[in-house]
């Protein structure tokens, strides 16, 4: 795709706006940038709307636009459960997790594990998180983002990846304050460009498959031509979908029926939104009311995300299925293999002049924001939990900030080198969820038991840490038919049982000095916040009833 002058001007406006605003924020607080808490956490300077926007900007990336858009092409609206159930999860985190973090002055997740358990658990998990963030998350964001830009711009993969990395490094080196406030602009472009793409995708379906009556007809045609794509709860063996590797697969294997509502989906979401440095970092520097408002704002934005990332994928599927546009068929099929992950960028190529630039800016904003947030978390964990504890215990703030910046560059270099290897995987979103799910059950078990069961001890936490990955791998390769979401549920239960076992056999755990003081009053919320909770849950209930 060749971007017209108008498209390039739109994208240039976005690039200059984000860069200059980030530089202004950096210069405004330049004197405090040597403070490590300011660099890594923004030291309480983020407002609730900046926290909420930053959460979404960092979460919504190529993983969603490209990966979840591809899953929308393959699976349909069912994949939206990751987004809609995340809204409910954010409320749980705001009400129950955040008071415990803030009361205990937690700045990193390994720090919590060290205070609640011991240094063995925190160090092992710090290493696990670093490996996960670099080898799975950062790498997959670069791969999916560069693949999408390559498809749009016809520029070699490496140069697309390098351009994204350089832009992200520029933002990241300014620290969390710069990331948080530039994310507000990123979300603006993300939502505006995403909604424009959805509008035009539905309009395109109406024109090429229907009578051209408009987006309402386009949406109705999606439900008419692909009714199987409008079920939230899948039934095993009902139908097959393209797996992105040249074959067909049962969508139930990815979203196994009611387990989406009462099983492994909760493990994935609670681990991601509540026990994840990458996410919680935005709220840890704020006071409780501000943090809660930010998380509630993010929950409302989450309700909107499937409209932006899933519907275009379904629209592309209908256009492909109906052979409505030869460009879509030629772009989606590569060497005879249907590639769902190419659906979103293929659709962008059909946008009119001017809106291509806006959509290009939206996609780039999502990718860069996620790369910046992820690399800042890598930098935070390494600098505070590895470097300061084991390499330079006397490191001052200036040294920690300098180390953190070098870690950002090193992490990007490693991820950039590995990213091309992900080409062999089918659907990128599935790859990310499955391999993150190797560690999520152990993490969530340690945190939940550490929060709410006083007898949880370090031996139990260590056992859960060490068992999660090998047990997940064992189940994956010995029972390949077991959906990874159900596998997460079984591994989570095993980890909880291990923690219970080690706690019960230890007589000292009855008076565990490291147990958290939990009082019911900590979880009390304001009337306005409670009203927001009811509104979010009401919308969720209506969506699941409508598309069960």
Location of structure tokens 């990815």: 254
Lowest mean pLDDT across 23-37, 39-53, 167-181, 213-227: 23-37
- Mean pLDDT computed over every residue of the chain: 82
> What confidence tier does 461 reach under pLDDT thresholds 50, 70, 90?
very high
Give the 3-state secondary structure of 191-237. Answer: HHHHHHHHHHHHHHHHHHHCCCCCHHHHHHHHHHHCHHHCCCCCCCC
Contact 295, 96 (CB under 8 A): no
Listed residue (315, 267, 276) closest to 445, CA to CA: 267
**Please, which pLDDT band fits residue 497 given cuts at 50, 70 and 90?**
very high
**Across residues 112-126, what is the average pLDDT?**
88
The whole-number pLDDT of residue 219 equals 92
Q: Among positive and negative, which fits the CA dihedral 86, 92, 97, 103?
A: positive
Q: CA-CA distance, 414 to 375, in Å (whole number)?
A: 12
Report CA torsion sign: 198, 201, 207, 210.
negative
In the predicted structure, residue 113 carries a pLDDT above the cut 80: yes
Record the pTM.
0.81
> Residue 424's pLDDT is what?
59
What are the sequence ranges of the domains in the chain?
Answer: 5-420+431-436+518-546
Higher pLDDT, 223 or 484: 223
Arithmetic mean of pLDDT, 520-525: 87
Q: What is the pLDDT of residue 33?
A: 47
DSSP 78: G
**Would you place residue 501 in the very low, low, confident or very high pLDDT band (cuts 50, 70, 90)?**
very high
More confident residue, 109 or 95: 95
Question: How confident is the model at residue 45, as a pLDDT?
Answer: 61
CATH class of 5-420+431-436+518-546: mainly alpha
Mean pLDDT of 480-505: 91
Q: How far apart are CA 194 and CA 211, in angstroms?
A: 24
CA nearest to 290, candidates 517, 45, 36: 45
Q: Are 165 and 404 in contact (CB under 8 A)?
A: no
Q: Do the beta carbons of residue 184 and residue 18 sit within 8 Å? A: no
Strands 241-242 and 248-249: antiparallel
Residue 88 has pLDDT above 90, yes or no: yes
Which pLDDT score, from 0 to 100, does residue 541 have? 92
pLDDT in tens, 366-393: 777 778 878 888 888 888 888 888 888 8
pLDDT surpasses 90 at 507: no
- DSSP 8-state class, residue 3: P
Nearest-5° Cα angle at 71, 73 to 320:
15
Highest mean pLDDT: which of 147-151, 403-407, 459-463?
A: 459-463
- Could you count the other beta carbons within 10 Å of the beta carbon of residue 413? 12
Measured between alpha carbons, how far is 522 from 508 in angstroms, rounded to an integer?
27
Mean pLDDT of 326-335: 77
Least confident of 185-189, 263-267, 412-416: 185-189
Determine the pLDDT at residue 43. Answer: 53
Helices (H) and strands (E) in the chain, counts: 27, 4
pLDDT average, residue stretch 47-69 = 75
* 3-class SS of residue 352: coil
For 337, phi then psi, to 5°, come to -110, 130
| Structure confidence at residue 181 (pLDDT) | 66
Residue 248 has pLDDT above 60, yes or no: yes
SS3 assignment, position 242: strand
- pLDDT range class, residue 246, cuts 50, 70, 90: low
Q: What is the pLDDT of residues 398-443, one digit of tens each?
A: 888 888 889 888 999 999 998 887 765 555 556 667 777 888 899 9
From 20-29, 316-325, 398-407, the region with the lowest mean pLDDT: 20-29
């Amino acid at each position: 795709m060749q971007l017209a002058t108008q498209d390039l001007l739109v994208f240039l406006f976005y690039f200059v706006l984000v860069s200059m605003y980030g530089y202004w924020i950096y210069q405004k607080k330049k004197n405090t940038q040597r403070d490590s808490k300011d660099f890594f956490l923004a030291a309480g300077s983020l407002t609730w709307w900046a926290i909420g926007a930053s959460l979404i900007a960092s979460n919504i990336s190529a993983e969603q636009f490209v990966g979840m858009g591809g899953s929308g092409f393959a699976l349909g609206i069912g994949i939206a459960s990751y987004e809609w159930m995340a809204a409910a999860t954010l409320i749980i985190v705001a009400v129950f997790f955040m008071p415990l973090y803030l009361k205990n002055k937690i700045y990193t997740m390994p720090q919590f594990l060290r205070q609640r358990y011991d240094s063995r658990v925190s160090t092992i998990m710090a290493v696990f998180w670093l490996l996960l963030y670099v080898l799975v998350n950062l790498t997959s964001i670069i791969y999916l983002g560069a693949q999408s830009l390559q498809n749009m711009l016809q520029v070699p993969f490496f140069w697309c990846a390098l351009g994204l990395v350089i832009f992200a490094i520029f933002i990241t080196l300014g620290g969390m304050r710069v990331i948080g406030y530039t994310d507000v602009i990123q979300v603006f472009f993300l939502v505006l460009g995403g909604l424009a793409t959805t509008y035009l995708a539905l309009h395109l379906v109406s024109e090429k498959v229907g009578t051209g009556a408009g987006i309402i007809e386009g949406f109705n045609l999606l439900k008419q031509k692909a009714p199987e794509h409008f079920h939230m709860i899948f039934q095993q063996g009902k139908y097959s979908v393209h797996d992105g590797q040249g074959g067909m697969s049962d969508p139930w294997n990815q979203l196994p029926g009611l387990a989406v509502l009462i099983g492994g989906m909760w493990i994935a979401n609670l681990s991601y939104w509540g026990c994840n440095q990458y996410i919680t970092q935005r709220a840890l520097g704020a006071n409780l009311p501000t943090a809660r408002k930010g998380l509630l704002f993010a929950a409302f934005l989450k309700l909107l995300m499937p409209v932006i990332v899933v519907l275009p994928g379904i629209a592309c599927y209908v256009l492909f299925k109906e052979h409505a546009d030869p460009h879509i068929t030629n772009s989606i099929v590569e060497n005879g293999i249907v590639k769902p992950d190419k659906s979103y960028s293929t659709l962008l190529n059909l946008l009119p002049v001017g809106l291509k630039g806006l959509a290009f800016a939206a996609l780039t904003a999502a990718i860069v924001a996620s790369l910046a947030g992820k690399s800042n978390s890598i930098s935070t964990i390494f600098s505070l939990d590895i470097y300061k504890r084991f390499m330079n215990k006397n490191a001052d703030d200036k040294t920690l900030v300098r180390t953190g910046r070098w870690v950002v560059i090193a992490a990007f270099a490693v991820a950039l080198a590995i990213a091309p290897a992900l080409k062999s995987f089918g659907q990128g979103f599935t790859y990310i969820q499955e391999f993150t799910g190797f560690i999520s059950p152990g993490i969530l078990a340690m945190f939940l038991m550490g929060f709410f069961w006083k007898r949880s001890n370090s031996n139990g936490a260590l056992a859960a840490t060490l068992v999660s990955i090998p047990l997940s791998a064992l189940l994956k390769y010995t029972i390949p038919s077991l959906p990874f979401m159900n596998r997460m549920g079984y591994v989570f239960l095993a980890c909880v049982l291990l923690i219970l076992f080690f706690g019960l056999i230890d007589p000292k755990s009855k008076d565990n000095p490291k147990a958290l003081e939990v009082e019911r009053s900590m979880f009390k919320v304001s009337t306005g916040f409670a009203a927001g909770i009811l509104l979010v849950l009401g919308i969720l209930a209506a969506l699941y009833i409508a598309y069960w």
